[in-house]
Structure 1
């Protein structure tokens, strides 16, 4: 690792930007490519001498606020921003960055590639942002497969669909509580909690327990009215280019009754779609 990795990185990123890239007017020919130090300092709202010390390695511990300002000034993407934080030994604070509501075309294509297993993407407040065909078929007993918490506590299908409803309810609320640590998701979380509290005493009691837990890998025990009982394991993956989104993939043990039931559900759904088409 170079002695001044932070300064080398800042200089390289500064050299890769032109004034017009950041909305700055310029005149004449420049002796060096990219932005000047003074211009980066203006864009970041920091003292020019302080920024110079950063590049020269005389200042090695900028605050998270300065790092955020430099990330914006230098138009760093999420990977470059995380790298900038690592160079200073600081963890980036993404709590104030709202999770995107849109799912990338590449991830949508990946979901559709899982033709034989349910897969979907949720955000921190458990909104289902997109689902593949088999996930839609799996959740078809619900009036609307829009939010896992709302489905669990307010949809009349839930007590029959989730054969271990009490366990599902506890896990769902503990998952939802994680979003409380992200102020950017505050308004969405507040609205959802108000709705659930108003209509569900069970949710209110669990929410007031303040249990918090990320998604685990425990089996889900479900009962679908068309194909019967299903025991599915699942894995959750953070979506790297969309912090706050999680890809959830269900899986049935190969050769098991659940795998056969899941296959039947896929066939029924495909037939319905073909008939509708």
Structure 2
């Protein structure tokens, strides 16, 4: 299989996964008589809704057609009822598939610039950390590391947010909405896999999680893609109690793939007192028992 066919196949996988998620009723079509063999739209139904031939659509799903026009991509987005992040992902997949020779994946850097480390320090007591494109935890201020209760007991090379969420025994009770947290992690990795499926850092992490976490494997098959760079998160923290923090993710210029994620709380509130305590605790050994990733 050529590189172009492989990227085309990734486009086809996304189309198949999203087609299975749309019911005829959602698309404004009658359910029809008899038992449906597919859980969502049939190929011919989606082709009709998008205004393209069934043969052309089948070629898209099978990776034999890798150059859909922008108008076809937009028609498919509307027919599949895609959310904005999903529609953008489809456009990206189509653009990557159309390349005659896909660009080789750049080797990711794990080096955090001194100026960024100083920024982490200046953000104290607000928790903040720097992650790679696959959510490796590359640097953190005291509260940022302590907020992810238990991750500090892992060796630095094993500290990854997705690995922590799915494999650390304390993660399920730490996040007030663990389901939303894990869906977000998978959706982020899915979006990255769509545009850079052969990246060694990504394939290693996804392979590990598919092997060790049935929940990750189940969510991976759904092919959800979403980018969320701000919002709120609630925690049941074992040392400072319940807290709800705003967060903002910022892309760091000069180091591809690096993002800074900072949390905040209104001064004078119990949540702000909690992050100030986390900052103090971050200078002391953790009170929890060491827990390494499962072998």
Q: TM-score, normalised by structure 1?
A: 0.60
User: Are the aligned partners of 1:161 and 1:224 in contact in 2 as well (CA < 8 Å)?
Assistant: yes
Q: Deviations over 1:213-252 (max 9, x none)?
A: 1233121111111110110111111111011111111111
User: Are the aligned partners of 1:95 and 1:184 in contact in 2 as well (CA < 8 Å)?
Assistant: no
Over the aligned positions, Cα root-mean-square deviation in angstroms equals 2.2
Aligned equivalent of 1:25: none
Aligned equivalent of 2:133: 124
1:1-277, aligned counterparts within 5 Å?
96-142=105-151, 143-144=153-154, 146-183=159-196, 186-270=199-283
User: What is the Cα deviation at residue 95 of structure 1?
Assistant: 7.0
Gaps of 5+ in 1: 1-92
Aligned equivalent of 2:47: none
SS of aligned partner of 1:137: helix
SS of aligned partner of 2:107: coil
CA distance in 2, matches of 1:272, 1:154: 22
Q: Whose relative contact order is higher, 1 or 2, with alpha carbons under 8 Å and at least 6 apart?
A: 2
Gaps of 5+ in 2: 1-101, 287-295
* Bigger Rg over Cα: 1
SS of aligned partner of 1:208: helix
Q: TM-score, normalised by structure 2?
A: 0.57
SS of aligned partner of 1:219: strand
**Structure 1's 101 and 182: CA in aligned 2 closer, same or farther, altered over 3 A?**
farther
User: What is the Cα deviation at residue 113 of structure 1?
Assistant: 1.3
